[in-house]
Amino acid sequence: MPKSVRDITSMKNSKKITVITAYDYTTAQLCDRAGVEILLVGDSGGMVMLGYENTIPVTMEQMCFFTEAVSRGRKDAMVVADMPFMSYQASKSQAIENAGRLIKSGADAVKLEGGIEIKETVRSIVDIGIPVMGHIGFQPQTTTLQEGYKVQAKTKDAALALIQNARALEEAGAFSIVLEMVTKEVSKIITESISIPTIGIGSGPDCDGQVLVVHDVLGLFEKLKPKFAKRYLELAGDIVKAITSYKSDVVSGKFPLQEHSFSIDKTELERLRKEIA
């Protein structure tokens, strides 16, 4: 049975929440089997799966496609799908319609980037019964446009603004909030000052949970290696090694062997040869 919003919110102050991104069926199955509580179909999929420079070009169609695959692969984890850039900013009705499309694609909740400025949008999605995860601090869809990759909440004023954003999202009914690249001290203050779980990425150890991009955890993505992402494997190198061995076996005739081949019955083969002759 997939985790519910209540399962996640009840973990605050008792057990850390583990979140990892997934964009396809096989990876979702493996991450689910590893016991993570939430599979995040992040719009980071635009970068690691589709090769975009950033998350801005990602479309609703692509997010629905990833979400369908991930939801088919999960058993126990909650599936949260990112609302891509410009899928919720134009109007509340646009936001509700697109949140609904992600739920119909198999998500249990949606994630939106933004604070006070999207409070009413979050409220309107929550009011129709769709759970919302907030996302503040570094917001890849817009912070990159304004100032590039930069640690957030390094001054008192910036920290205060972030605390207000977190409170606004809580008031609007969000069930949890991602804090991205927020100074660890301010993450701790935010975590202690709201009643819903915070999920950190590059935001220190005091958040209620952590999220990482699965390609970073597995060492698959080499274009960008954020300081905050712990690489548990270096699969990119292993994959290139394996494919190089495959190529060399094909060229040398070491692959395929008998064990990888299928045979036709001897009499059928005789008959075939005769007919051809």
Residues making contact with ligand KIV (CB under 6 A):
21, 42-44, 82, 135, 178, 180, 201, 211, 213
Closer of 205 and 256 to ligand KIV (Cβ): 205
Closest-by-Cβ residue to ligand KIV is 42
Q: How far is the CB of 221 from ligand KIV (least distance, A)?
A: 11
Q: How far is the CB of 255 from ligand KIV (least distance, A)?
A: 37
Q: What are phi and psi of 111, to 5 degrees?
A: -120, 135
| Distance between CA atoms of residues 174 and 165, nearest Å | 12
Q: Which residues are catalytic?
A: 180
Q: How far is the CB of 17 from ligand KIV (least distance, A)?
A: 13
Closer of 37 and 82 to ligand KIV (Cβ): 82
Closer of 119 and 135 to ligand KIV (Cβ): 135
Closer of 81 and 130 to ligand KIV (Cβ): 81
Q: How far is the CB of 258 from ligand KIV (least distance, A)?
A: 45
Nearest to 113 by CA among 58, 43, 52, 171: 43
The token duo for 33 is: 């089997």
Closer of 42 and 131 to ligand KIV (Cβ): 42
Q: How far is the CB of 113 from ligand KIV (least distance, A)?
A: 8
